[in-house]
């Protein structure tokens, strides 16, 4: 006897729907962590700290944000930040969006899903200090930079029109390549009086990156939390119980189970959500918002 597919699906749905499972428990320990922000002053320009300052912070400080397309300095031409790359196979992959906030100063987000600024780009027209060193792209020379930062190193990519002097971590000073001489090796004597075209300051350390604990427990500083706040949200990612239809399709789904004290902040670093969850992810106390 042949069983029709419709009957088989219906039977499977009835069986799966009749299963009752108890809420899964996740043993966890609350955890705090004081983020080491001692390096931030060395990356801060005009009170803008990459990795922490948000677009909302800039607007509240009175900056007017003008959105622009920005080329990757290691691949494109910084003198045409509104233009697409020409003659490059990388195309739009090396383009991102940033905001001009004042002459010669562009800020970039790590991605469009958050308002956190992760990179500052300084161009001609900017005048300010980087780690106490007065920097003016278009005026500051290579020898000035080398004297101020003797431990930095020169590097470049074949696709770039620039050499950059960097600490291999967070700061890079860019100088245009001279096509009248051999590109490699880099001729420091020849370039010593050349002016810096641009500077980039990046925070790779991940102020809001998550930490991993035992039993697949994750800990993460709430996005936009104040700089010196020590609280870490605790959560675990689990596979969702499949419905009958999903079981047939075979598509896995995952969701986040919040554990313990959970806090959320606005881009202005204001606490907007605060609650207590038990070890099954159920809310046991709502603190904010107040109903």
Residues 85-106 pLDDT 10s: 333 333 334 456 799 999 999 9
Contact 40, 201 (CB under 8 A): no
What residues does each domain of the chain span? 5-33+209-288, 40-202
Q: Specify the pLDDT at position 93.
A: 41
CA atoms within 13 A on the CB side of 226: 7
pLDDT at 95: 53
84 has a pLDDT exceeding 70: no
Q: What are phi and psi of 23, to 5 degrees?
A: -60, 135
Mean pLDDT of the 26-45 span: 88
Q: Give the pair of three-digit tokens for residue 16.
A: 């799966």
Encoding tokens for residue 45? 């320009």
Closest CA to 245 of 13, 6, 18, 11: 13
Rounded to whole angstroms, the Cα distance separating 225 from 63 reads 22
The residues near 132 (Cβ < 8 Å, ≥ 6 apart) are none
State the average pLDDT over residues 199-203.
Answer: 94
- Predicted local distance difference test score (pLDDT) of residue 79: 46
Model pLDDT, residue 128: 95
Mean pLDDT (whole number) for 195-221: 88
Predicted local distance difference test score (pLDDT) of residue 19:
46
Length, in residues, of the chain: 291
CATH architecture of 40-202: Sandwich (2.60)
Residue 212's SS3 state is strand
Instruction: Give the residue with greater pLDDT, 112 vs 57.
Output: 57
Rg (CA), the chain: 26
Q: According to the model, what pLDDT value does residue 272 have? A: 98
What's the pLDDT score for residue 230? 93
Is the pLDDT reported for residue 254 higher than 80?
Answer: yes
pLDDT digits (tens, 9 = 90+) for 158-169: 888 899 999 988
pTM as predicted:
0.80
Residue 9 pLDDT > 50: no
Identify the weakest region by mean pLDDT among 27-31, 69-73, 175-179: 69-73
Q: Report how far Cα 32 is from the mean position of its chain's Cα atoms.
A: 22
Residue 150 reports pLDDT greater than 90? yes
Sign of CA dihedral 47, 49, 53, 59: positive
Q: What is the pLDDT of residue 252?
A: 74
- Does the pLDDT at position 262 exceed 50? yes
Judged by average pLDDT, the poorest of 18-32, 114-128, 176-190 is 18-32
The rounded mean pLDDT for the chain is 84
User: Cβ atoms within 10 A of the Cβ of 266, count?
Assistant: 14
pLDDT computed for residue 259 by the predictor: 97
């Amino acid at each position: 006897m042949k069983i029709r597919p419709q009957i088989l699906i219906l039977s499977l749905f009835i069986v799966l729907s009749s299963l009752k499972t108890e809420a899964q428990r996740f043993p966890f320990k609350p955890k705090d962590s004081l983020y080491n922000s001692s390096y931030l002053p060395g990356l801060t320009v005009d009170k803008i700290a990459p990795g922490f300052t948000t677009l909302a912070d800039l607007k509240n400080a009175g900056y007017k944000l003008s959105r622009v397309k920005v080329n990757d300095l290691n691949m494109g031409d910084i003198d045409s930040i509104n233009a697409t790359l020409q003659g490059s196979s990388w195309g739009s992959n090396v383009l991102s969006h940033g905001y001009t906030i004042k002459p010669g100063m562009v800020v970039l987000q790590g991605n469009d899903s958050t308002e956190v600024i992760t990179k500052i780009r300084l161009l001609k027209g900017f005048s300010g200090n980087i780690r106490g060193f007065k920097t003016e792209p278009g005026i500051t020379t290579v020898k000035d930079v080398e004297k101020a930062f003797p431990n930095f190193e020169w590097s470049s990519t074949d696709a770039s029109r620039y050499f950059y002097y960097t600490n291999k971590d967070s700061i890079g000073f860019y100088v245009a390549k001279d096509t009248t001489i051999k590109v490699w090796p880099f001729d420091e004597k020849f370039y010593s009086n050349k002016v810096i075209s641009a500077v980039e300051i990046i925070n790779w350390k991940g102020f809001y990156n998550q930490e991993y604990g035992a039993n697949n427990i994750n800990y993460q500083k709430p996005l936009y939390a104040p700089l010196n706040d020590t609280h870490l949200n605790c959560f675990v990612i689990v596979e969702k119980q499949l419905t009958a239809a999903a079981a047939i399709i075979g598509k896995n789904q995952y969701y986040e189970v919040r554990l313990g004290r959970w806090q959320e902040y606005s881009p202005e670093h204001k606490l907007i959500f605060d609650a207590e969850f038990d070890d099954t992810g159920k809310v046991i106390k709502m603190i904010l918002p107040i109903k």
